[in-house]
Amino acid sequence: LGNIGSTLSRCVSRRHHQHQSVEVAVPRTPASAARRIRRHLQLPVQRWGACSVSESELEALKRPDFSNWDWPEEKLAVFLRAMFHDLRLTGRLGIGDGALDNFLVQVYQSYNRVPFHNFQHCFMVTQMVYCLVCADQLWLRVPRLELLCLLTAAACHDLDHPGLSNHWQRSAGTGLSACYGPEATLERHHLATAMSLVGRGLLSGLTAQEFRYARRRIARLILATDLARHSAVMAEFQEFFAEARLERSQGIEPLAVMDPERFAGKAKSQCGFIGGVALPMNSALARVLPCATECLLAPVQQQLRHYTDLLASTGSQQAQQAGGSELFSSN
């Protein structure tokens, strides 16, 4: 959780790994996949009332270095609930406590027992969004409904992830691919699952107009998490900065998307991902949200330095083992 760069890096490493794990048996239909790996744990929602969040815990949740690994999942769900309450997303928007609790239980149950895209990942991403909102006091500039969409989309962005990437879905011709098509297969599935959850309860207190707006916003946010859309998302950022760019008569560097398939070693793939995706994305974000410089950009830059050093030392070791300097100089 230290920074979103490493979270995303791990996300991509995992996907890269999945591409190679072709021996994994994958059910042909989404329904059977979901049943096979659906968690059977129940969150004892009736105990949540007694499970309060202290002031110091709430303060810790606002920090980018909050560690989710120190808490049981039940408590993480209670933390999610505290974030919605702290941002005053319930009462004023017509969302009852019961509707929020039911929504969070359904979110919890809709994440599968997979190595990465599980409930812990859902929590990490939502907590980082909450951290940014708080650090920049975004409620002073952004309507509560927008914040509700942000937090809801973060919590829902990987719902019912089967643990195998879009690339796999397409190559193996899975049921999910048949349902949602070959492009952004998983993101469309996360979105469809999210819509079935929010439509039933969480957003039912909104006016018809607010409800339509929220659905559109959440859809856009979840679909934007498809890494294949990185270039398009960056193009939107560039559009956003066009005015400032004109003023300064200075262009933004074109951005290359990293292709994880091209890279073999972890350090090299981390350097490629962080340099090509995480760094430009977070640099752009930091220009909109000044707080992101400290929360996100600095840790991402630190990670890049770490992996660059690692890559350099790995390269020199390999060069020594190879008995020459050609290998290293080719990096």
Closest CB to Zn ion among 124 and 297? 124
- The residue whose Cβ lies closest to Zn ion is 158
17, 85, 117, 190: the catalytic one is: 117
State the minimum distance, in angstroms, from the CB of residue 1 to Zn ion. 13
Nearest CA-CA partner of 296 in 311, 313, 279, 272? 279
Task: Provide CB contacts within 8 A for 285, sequence distance 6+.
Answer: 292, 296, 297
What DSSP assignment string belongs to 172-226?
A: HT-HHHHHH-SSSHHHHHHHHHHHHHIIIIITTTS-HHHHHHHHHHHHHHHHTT-
Is 158 annotated as ligand-binding? yes
The span from the CA of 148 to the CA of 67, in Å, is 23
Closest CB to Zn ion among 14 and 306? 14
State the minimum distance, in angstroms, from the CB of residue 191 to Zn ion. 13
Choose one: 74-82, 99-107, 152-160, 162-170; the region binding Zn ion (CB under 5 A). Answer: 152-160
In contact, 128 and 6? CB cutoff 8 Å? no
| Tokens 């962080």, residue located | 274
Choose one: 49-57, 76-84, 155-163, 282-290; the region binding Zn ion (CB under 5 A). Answer: 155-163
Nearest CA-CA partner of 275 in 260, 290, 294? 260
Choose one: 137-145, 151-159, 206-214, 243-251; the region binding Zn ion (CB under 5 A). Answer: 151-159
The span from the CA of 165 to the CA of 230, in Å, is 16
19 has catalytic annotation: no
Closest CB to Zn ion among 158 and 160? 158
In contact, 168 and 325? CB cutoff 8 Å? no
Closest CB to Zn ion among 125 and 202? 125
Choose one: 42-50, 150-158, 212-220, 230-238; the region binding Zn ion (CB under 5 A). Answer: 150-158
Is 160 annotated as ligand-binding? no
| Torsion, Cα of 150, 156, 157, 162 (10° steps) | 180
State the minimum distance, in angstroms, from the CB of residue 240 to Zn ion. 23
Closest CB to Zn ion among 7 and 238? 7
Enumerate residues 156-185 that contact Zn ion by CB under 5 A: 158
Is 70 annotated as ligand-binding? no
Active site residues: 117
Which parts of this chain interact with Zn ion (CB under 5 A)?
158
| Residue set of the binding site for Zn(2+) | 121, 157-158
